[in-house]
Amino acid sequence: MLIGTGVLWGTIGVASKGVFDHSQLDAVSVTWLRTLMASPICILAVWFSGGKTLLRFPRKALLVMIALGIALILYQWLYLAALEQMGVSATTLISLCGAPVIVAVLSALLMNERLNRPQLVALAGALLGTGLLIGRPPEVEGGNGTLGVLFALGCAFGIAIHAMGSRRIAASVHPLVVLAVGFTVGAIAFAPIVLARGLTIDADPTGWILLIYLAVVPSSIAYLLYQRSLKDVPASMATIVTLLEPMVAAVLAWFFFDERLGWNGVLGGALLLASIWILSTRAVKRNPVELVVATEG
């Protein structure tokens, strides 16, 4: 079940690219529609998982969740914006593998959490790996690799902020509630932007199927499966999800879209995956919720 969760999250990039190819939707529209459809599903999940008992949390936690909802939809938009510029593989590697690195750095700077020698080695490896990807960023037709890198780094920063905020309220709020509030707030916050730009919903049946898939499967069902699987396996095993997601995304992007990273991308990706394994193992031992949010594509 845990492996299945990582695989499902790994399909987000390829499914999103499929939506772009089969519709006139852009990153803003896809992000908003996905969030809008996922919100009621997550609300129902909260209700059937515990209902009112899960909604008992401090008022301050609600303010944090509202901020997390804005961060959620922003980093999801940045991910799709990067994907439009440089494809699935590089976007996923930089965004998801960069997030735990940023969490580690910010935790050391803001929370006085000391980094041990393996973690410092992991940070150095992550920086080198990112540098290899950034040095020669891949581009899709009509895309801008440099702009894609900036979007992907912004996504990584957003995921990191979301992870740290989730850690702050993990003891008082169920993670499903954080997700439900996040999607709802994100949909509301993005609505004025989408409506002001003019929402285009021109898509063929394949585009709509993939969009619904994004909202229902990786955004909702996969998260529920993850929560369920944590009851049956040690928390340290959750690291496998962190590693599977970018690996699955890269393989699917190669299979469906013939995306190739080149030697620098392969080496950079390997360094990032090794670094995230070290950092995520530490994150899981400290707080499983942090890893969940950091790997939620």
50 CB-near residues (< 8 Å, 6+ apart)? 174
- CA-closest candidate to residue 107, choices 119, 95, 118: 119
Residue pLDDT tens, the chain, 297 long: 667 777 888 899 999 999 999 999 999 999 999 999 999 999 998 998 887 888 888 889 999 999 999 999 999 999 999 999 988 988 988 888 788 788 878 878 887 777 777 778 877 887 788 777 766 667 677 778 889 999 999 999 998 898 888 888 888 888 889 889 999 999 999 999 999 988 878 899 999 999 999 999 998 888 777 766 655 655 555 556 666 788 888 888 888 988 877 777 788 888 877 877 776 665 545 554 445 445 545
Range(s) of the domain holding residue 282: 2-295
111: enclosing H helix or E strand? none
Contact indicator for 292, 175 with CB cutoff of 8 Å: yes
Q: Which residue has the tokens 């510029």?
A: 85
Three-state secondary-structure class, residue 297: coil
What integer pLDDT is reported at residue 217 of this predicted model? 92
Note the pTM of the prediction, 2 decimals: 0.87
What integer pLDDT is reported at residue 204 of this predicted model? 94
Contact indicator for 276, 243 with CB cutoff of 8 Å: yes
How many domains does the chain contain in total?
1
- CA-closest candidate to residue 93, choices 270, 246, 252: 246
